[in-house]
Amino acid sequence: DQQVKQNSPSLSVQEGRISILNCDYTNSMFDYFLWYKKYPAEGPTFLISISSIKDKNEDGRFTVFLNKSAKHLSLHIVPSQPGDSAVYFCAASGGTGNQFYFGTGTSLTVIP
């Protein structure tokens, strides 16, 4: 049972434009969410997180939005750069907080 879903396997965006990556979850106990970026042959790298007490968190070009009623979060990258091309995973945790559930990933390609 996939509790965290990323329904878009891939996304292509022009350099300088906004990239929006989406993630949906089903477990209402989840209260902490993260985004990871993964390059080939490397482990996932932490990008940004948000707890359920917030609906937005910004870090430079990256902003994560959380809509708890819709059980939906999104990652906005503005402006997108070619170096942002990677696979992005969203992850969620709740309750004990020691298990993170990952989505299947979205492969972002930023076209120069």
Partner 1 sequence: ETGVTQSPTHLIKTRGQQVTLRCSSQSGHNTVSWYQQALGQGPQFIFQYYREEENGRGNFPPRFSGLQFPNYSSELNVNALELDDSALYLCASSFAGYYYNEQFFGPGTRLTVL
CA distance linking residue 68 with residue 24, whole number of Å:
10
Q: Report DSSP letters for 5-62, one per residue.
A: E---SEEEEETTS-EEEEEEE--TTEEEEEEEEE-TTS--EEEEEEETT-SEEEETTE
Please select the residue that binds partner 1; options are 42, 69, 83, 112, rule is CB under 8 A: 42
For the bound state, the minimum distance from the C-beta of residue 20 to partner 1, rounded and expressed in Å, comes to: 19
Please select the residue that binds partner 1; options are 19, 30, 86, 105, rule is CB under 8 A: 105
Q: Is 41 in the site for partner 1 (CB under 8 A)?
A: yes
The residues binding partner 1 (CB under 8 A) are: 4, 6, 32, 34, 36, 41-46, 49, 51, 89, 91, 93, 96-105
